[in-house]
Amino acid sequence: MKLRVQLPFKATEKSLRVCFESILRQWNDRSGIVRQGLITDNGWLELIIGEELDSGELGYFGSTLSQLRENNGIMSLTLEGCTADKLSERFNMIIRKVNQFETEKHGLAEIRLMRGNGICFELFKADWQPAVSENRFNVPLGIQASIIQPDVIKKEKEIVRDSNSSNEKDKQTKLLLIDGMNILSRCYYATSYGNEESDLMRSSKGLFTNGIKPLSEKLVKMIRKLRPTHIAVLWESPGGRSSLWRRKVADFYKSNRDGKEQPASLTEQVKTAKALFGAMNIKQMHLETMEADDLMGCLSKRWSVEVNEMCYLWTNDSDFHQLIDNKTVQLIDDEPFTLEMFNEKYEGITPTQFIDYKGFCGDSSDNIKGIPGIGHKGAIGLLQTYNSMEDSISAAEHNNLDVTFKRYKNKLLEGKDSGLLSRKLATIMLDIREMKEIPWEDLASNFSRSGFLTMLKELDIEHKKNMKDVALT
């Protein structure tokens, strides 16, 4: 049995703890020992679990060195021969070492992990530190963990982000990609729920504005928070669902929405939203046959390769999880959803594997069926063990499934075609010619404050004074 988890590029005590807990959750039957444990070249912690042998048997592991060794600042710990309980002890040994370092240095630690057998790492005092009292680091080590709760750590990180000066933020190159329809729909339905269309907010000229007002407020707040140097809004294909390439691959794709007519008040505000973004001098794009997901996916991956700076994907759509990496963050409910958070929620699988996860589980909102009978728990377990949908299906075809997954054999065999098609439909396109030809200068932030305020005035939308005073240039 193979256990594996993707490690962060630069780990913190909290993110490392999440990874260790994921490994221990995967080892659910607690039997056997670690036959091999290493960090791979691409940053995976991989453990091979096998039968525990008696002394004298071929392949027997005697007791291995259980102490954390240090040589020229590099810490190392072997994992071979560990039972589940001993592995947990060694993970805790590493966490205690990190906590001790933080206490001694009066600051948060950055953990740099190294490839090779066992776990090797260096500790550094992180460049970023919480703008709070240093008393936290003077707490005796034995009771520190009981006092520092996850929500406190989260608040400290928020303080760190907020403590950066505006000048420092302005110097950082950042791309903000906005899923126009997703954000507008959230604003519209949040203010229209339970109300008749006749009761919705309108301008003096009769234009609906119940979705535009919160959209404009959210936009100002997000610009002020992130200070993006580049920005774009992506929209769905103007030809509608029937024109999508996915619909041509599978006629059932999003067919569950075909009979539902979009409210006229929302349709009108799509036009108004596009006019608002245009007045602010924000680049907007759409392409026939493509969804906003594909356009944002192509641009974000181009940005990662060509610019290698932070990219923010502002959308609540879980399909975008597959694009997350160390420098690509999804904004869900207007808050960051990072690689660390993804790893914690999906128990160690990677964002790339999330495509396979969707292939297994499907997506009822898009009428993607997946493989019937395989849900979240089964999908996570199969991906943790076999890495991909193809390898999971292959194991079933060759009658080589681990005993834990025997119950999925027939489901994998019978649902193979559905699963592979579902995965294809869930995969965001990353190679779109039109998107690859757009120069980054076209997306450079050059906000028009006057255009924004003029548009608000025409729509009779009032913002709080502190919202109006935000610099958009």
DSSP 8-state assignment for residue 437: T
Q: What is the pLDDT of residues 87-115, one digit of tens each?
A: 988 998 899 899 888 888 888 888 988 88
> From residue 106, how far is each of 113, 125, 210 by CA, in Å?
21, 9, 49
| pLDDT tier at 127, thresholds 50, 70, 90 | confident
CATH superfamily, region 167-349+439-468:
5'-nuclease (3.40.50.1010)
Chain center to CA of 247: 26
Length of the chain (residues): 473
Place of tokens 């076999």: 386
Above 80 in pLDDT, residue 160?
Answer: no
Report, as an integer, the average pLDDT of 294-320.
96
From 98, 384, 122, 334, select the one nearest 221 (Cα to Cα).
334
Contact 125, 105 (CB under 8 A): yes
Residues of the chain with CATH 3.40.50.1010: 167-349+439-468
Q: Report the pLDDT value the prediction gives residue 147, as an integer from 0 to 100.
A: 29
From 103, 77, 60, 74, select the one nearest 20 (Cα to Cα).
77
Above 80 in pLDDT, residue 290?
Answer: yes
Q: What is the overall mean pLDDT for the chain?
A: 86
DSSP 8-state assignment for residue 265: H
Q: What is the pLDDT of residues 16-56, one digit of tens each?
A: 888 888 888 888 888 889 888 999 887 889 999 888 766 55
More confident residue, 206 or 153: 206
Residue type, 183: I
* Terminal alpha carbon distance of the chain: 56
Give one DSSP letter per residue of 279-327, joined into a string.
HTT-EEE--TT--HHHHHHHHHHHHHHHT-SEEEEE---GGGGGG-BTT
Residue 72 falls in which region: left (phi positive, over 0), alpha (psi -120 to 50) or beta: left
**Burial bucket for residue 296 (CB in 10 Å: 0-12, 13-18, 19+):** buried
Contact 125, 111 (CB under 8 A): no
How many Cα atoms within 13 Å fall on the side-chain side of residue 258? 11
Q: What is the spatial distance between Cα 405 and Cα 126, in angstroms, rounded to a whole number?
A: 42
Report, as an integer, the average pLDDT of 271-300.
96
Residues of the chain with CATH 1.10.150.20: 354-426
Tokens of residue 297, six digits: 């996916």
Q: 70-84, 137-151, 347-361, 412-426: lowest mean pLDDT where?
A: 137-151
pTM to 2 decimal places: 0.67
| pLDDT tier at 138, thresholds 50, 70, 90 | very low
Q: Report the pLDDT value the prediction gives residue 471, as an integer from 0 to 100.
A: 53
Q: Report the pLDDT value the prediction gives residue 247, as an integer from 0 to 100.
A: 95
Above 50 in pLDDT, residue 452?
Answer: yes
Q: Report the pLDDT value the prediction gives residue 280, as an integer from 0 to 100.
A: 95
Q: 118-132, 147-161, 273-287: lowest mean pLDDT where?
A: 147-161
Give one DSSP letter per residue of 153-219, joined into a string.
HHHHHHHHHHHS-HHHHHHS-EEEEEEHHHHHHHHHHHHHTT--GGGS-B-TTS-B-TTHHHHHHHH
Q: Report the pLDDT value the prediction gives residue 148, as an integer from 0 to 100.
A: 32
Contact 61, 41 (CB under 8 A): no
Report, as an integer, the average pLDDT of 167-183.
83
Report, as an integer, the average pLDDT of 53-65.
54
Q: What percent of the chain has pLDDT over 90?
A: 62
Q: What is the dihedral of CA 360, 410, 2, 400, to 10 degrees?
A: -150
Q: Report the pLDDT value the prediction gives residue 150, as an integer from 0 to 100.
A: 40
Q: What is the pLDDT of residues 214-263, one digit of tens each?
A: 999 999 999 999 999 999 999 999 889 999 999 999 999 999 998 888 99
Q: Report the pLDDT value the prediction gives residue 435, as an integer from 0 to 100.
A: 95
Topology of 354-426 in CATH?
DNA polymerase; domain 1 (1.10.150)
Q: Report the pLDDT value the prediction gives residue 171, as an integer from 0 to 100.
A: 60
DSSP 8-state assignment for residue 18: H
| pLDDT tier at 358, thresholds 50, 70, 90 | very high
More confident residue, 127 or 5: 5
